[in-house]
Structure 1
Amino acid sequence: MIQASGLRKLYGRTVALDGVDLHVRQGEIYGVLGQSGAGKSTLLRCVNLLERPSEGTVTVAGQDLTALGDRDLNKARQRIGMIHQHFALLSSRTVAGNVAFPLEVMGVPRAERERRVAELLDLVGLGGRGGDRPAQLSGGQKQRVGIARALAGNPSVLLSDEATSALDPATTASILDLLKRLNTELGLTILLITHEMNVVKAVCDSVAIMADGRVEESGTLAELIRTPGSRLTREIFPLPAPAPGDITLTFTGQADEPVISEVVRKFGTDVSILGGAIENLAGARVGRLRVTLSGDPDPALAYLRSLGLIVEVAEGGSR
């Protein structure tokens, strides 16, 4: 649904994006994770060409946006919704007026606008609040208005720029639940910019981790969790630096199985657990465990690998 190839963006001598490739499949929630200055918001603005890349191409729904003139680009943007970090609501308009604004720009007749606005406000849980002003709303309610407005043109793609970073944890969870529901019910493809790992863990199917204008790693959460040395795995499951011979086990489907007790029974080895955690990711329970094994660990490690666990042994130990 979204394909960015070789994106570079320069601001004078400053390189904001440096050869970024991005592949977002239809119907998925794709997170772009990174700290301030990583280039993630610039990438988002390049996707709908609010910023035109210095080099590279952006294709959305099979259409090369970088090849379009202004008129065709404006038409293409109507199929790309945008949610902003600080809501970007018009204080002079009511809630309904804010949601109706893009429909007015598109020339939608008044009766159809009113029907569509009522439908959208019900969809985001604000039915009956159309006459309120933004100042009367909480932060979470304001973001729901922003989401309704972004959906006004029936977009196939929704771009979210740090949509939850100004919200408290409980409100963040409710907004993420809403985005997941919209993704499921409407088939929306969502590209979500965030600096919060909890957002990625809660709703994302795939992720790209950015730093210094580059993508350091990308893929589905399941793929990255199963990749030895993955930065995503290290950040989701922070463990102290291993000592030589320490063994790190990553479970991607066996988190609820008695794997360790089986190793003890089968191989008569003692297992010392040094740390670990279990998380729910992309609909599956995933775990990471740091252990040491007594005696010759090789038979036990071979057995664990045969079960599909990712086994990493710190330098200086048996493999």
Structure 2
Amino acid sequence: MIQASGLRKVYGNTVALDGVDLHVREGEIYGVLGQSGAGKSTLLRCVNLLERPTAGTVTVAGQDLTALRSGDLNRARQRIGMIHQHFALLSSRTVAGNVAFPLEVMGVPRAERERRVTELLDLVGLSGRGGDRPNQLSGGQKQRVGIARALAGNPSVLLSDEATSALDPATTQSILSLLKRLNTELGLTILLITHEMNVVKSICDSVAIMSDGRVEESGTIADLIRTPGSRLTREIFPLPEPAPAGSITLTFTGDPHQPVVSEVVRKFDVDVSILGGSIENLAGSAVGRLRVSLSGDEEASALDFLRARGVVL
């Protein structure tokens, strides 16, 4: 659904993006994770060409946006919704007026606008609040208005620019749950940027980790968790580094509650010392990581057994 190839963005002497490739499949929630200055926001704005890249191409739903002229580009953007970090609501308009604004720009007749606004406010859990002003709403409610507005044009792609960073943890979770529901019910492809690992853990199917304008690693959460040495795995499961000499880190990507370690002890002549570990819920699936020390005559056979059971070493 979204493909960026060789994206480069330069501001004077500052290289904000340096050869970024991004491949987002239709219907997935894709997170771009990184600290301030990593290039996340610039990448997001290049996807809908609010920033035109210095080099490279951006294709959305089969259209090369970088090749479109102004009028065609504006029409293509109508299929790309955008959620902003600080809501970006018009204080002079009601909630309904804010949601209706993009429909007015698109020339949608009044009766159809009103029907669509009512539908959207109900979808995001704000039924009956259309006559309120933004200053009467909580932060979470303001973001729900922003989401409804982003959905006004029936987009196939939704871009989220740190949509939860200004919210408290409970409200953040409610907004993430809403985005996940919209992804499932509407088939929306969602590209979100965040500096919060919890956002990635909660709803993302895939992730790209950025630093200094480059993508350090990318892929599905499941594939990265299975990749030895993955930065994502290290950040989700922050075991003490460096690992003690002779220790082994085991990653369980199936059912982490299966008694695999006790099976090893029963089947092989080995001793297992547990040095640390944890279980995390990643997009609805439990994943475990355990650091152990193995010793004994059948250590090699025990490791082969673990690999055969799907444990990543």
TM-score interval w.r.t. the shorter chain? Answer: over 0.9
Partner of 1:309: 311
Give the superposition deviation at 1:268: 3.3
For 1:34, the aligned partner's letter is G
State the distance in 1 between where 2:269 and 2:149 align: 62
Alignment of 1:21-32 (within 5 A): 21-32=21-32
SS at match of 2:190: strand
Partner of 1:215: 215
Contact 1:222 1:282 in 2 (8 A): no
Give the superposition deviation at 1:269: 2.0
Give the superposition deviation at 1:301: 0.7
Give the superposition deviation at 1:248: 0.3
Contact 1:6 1:56 in 2 (8 A): yes
Q: Deviations over 1:73-115 (max 9, x none)?
A: 0000000000000000000000000000000000000000000
Contact 1:100 1:152 in 2 (8 A): yes
Please say which of residues 107-116 and 253-262 is displaced more in the overlay.
253-262
Partner of 1:123: 123
Partner of 1:228: 228
Partner of 2:265: 264
State the distance in 2 between where 1:283 and 1:24 align: 20
Partner of 2:136: 136
Q: Report the TM-score, using the length of structure 2 for normalisation.
A: 0.99
Alignment of 1:1-319 (within 5 A): 1-241=1-241, 242-296=243-297, 297-311=299-313
Contact 2:202 2:284 in 1 (8 A): no
Give the superposition deviation at 1:283: 2.8
Give the superposition deviation at 1:243: 1.2
For 1:88, the aligned partner's letter is A
Q: Deviations over 1:274-315 (max 9, x none)?
A: 11011111332111000011223211111101111111xxxx
State the distance in 2 between where 1:198 and 1:157 align: 22
Q: Deviations over 1:183-228 (max 9, x none)?
A: 0000000000000000000000000000000000000000000000
For 1:178, the aligned partner's letter is L
| Structure 2: stretches of 5+ with no match in the other structure | none
Please say which of residues 300-309 and 154-163 is displaced more in the overlay.
300-309
Runs of 4+ in 1 over 2 A off after TM superposition: none
The share of aligned pairs that are identical, in percent, is 86
State the distance in 2 between where 1:218 and 1:294 align: 35
Q: Report the TM-score, using the length of structure 1 for normalisation.
A: 0.97
Q: Deviations over 1:2-42 (max 9, x none)?
A: 00000000000100000000000000000000000000000
State the distance in 2 between where 1:237 and 1:29 align: 22
Contact 1:82 1:150 in 2 (8 A): yes
RMSD value over aligned CA atoms? 0.6
Give the superposition deviation at 1:153: 0.2
For 2:301, the aligned partner's letter is P
